[in-house]
Amino acid sequence: MATRIICMDGDDVLRKRSREVEKVTGRIRQLLDDMVETLKEADGVGLAAPQVGILKRVVVIDVGEGPIELINPVILEASGEQDYYEGCLSLPGLYGNARRPEAVRLAAMDRSGATVEYQATGLFAVACCHEIDHLDGIMFYDKVDEDLYSKEEVERLREAEAGAEAGAGAEAGAEAGAGAGAGAGARAGAEAGVGAKAGAGAPQERGKEQGGGGQARSRAGGSGRGRAQAQTGGNGRRQAQASGRAQAGGQAQASGRSGERGSGGQPGGGEAVS
């Protein structure tokens, strides 16, 4: 196995459609081995053959559970949606919020030529969509509706989003608390009213039995929201700056890290998907 050079954004090969693999040969298996090693050295999540200059429909993905090799991958079904700050080994240092399916079912060949199917969710689903886009000459920022961000900007955006969610939870809790208080007050009032009737009736009965008259009266009564808001905002860069940061037509060694891995389906400040 050997590491290969990763093509950078601006290289023409990244905008071309890859050809299907007609037969899994020794050269294809060697390509898979090299791509797995290159992905490991780059500390990425996925890598497509065009990113190492080979226009073949070959992909490797590793979301932390070992490499998955896909030859001629095809998405059969997709469902749901998720927003995800994606990065790319061909565009290191920039991330964008691309909307992807929450789950996909895909078919491909493995290195033996056998057909395999996968049910992918979360980060795995994002990586599958991202890499198959590469095979069709599509970069992730083509599907980003807003700006591109640095890792630090993504972290600030995530903090703002977390604050907004906490504010919404506080508001919901305040409303629930107010409703519970009103319900408790109503129940207490009703119980007090029942007690008053019982207290008024007992002396009257005793007065009748003793040949006298008596009355007792009692009265009872009872009466029984906070809001938190957060706003998010931020500035980023679109494709023009992305291309400006990339080395037009240039290349970078795969051993260069493009971003830190996040945990689970949500990256800690952006995930270098491929």
> Could you list the active site residues?
131
Cβ-count burial of 223 within 10 angstroms (0-12 exposed, 13-18 middle, 19+ buried)? Answer: exposed
DSSP annotation string for 13-29: GGGSPPBPPSS--HHHH
H-helix or E-strand containing 103?
Answer: strand 103-109
Pairwise CA distance, residues 266 & 226, whole Å? 30
Beta pairing, strands 251-252 & 6-7: antiparallel
Contact (CB, 8 A) for 57 and 70: no
Instruction: Kindly tell me the sign of the dihedral angle through the C-alpha atoms of 8, 9, 12, 18.
Output: positive
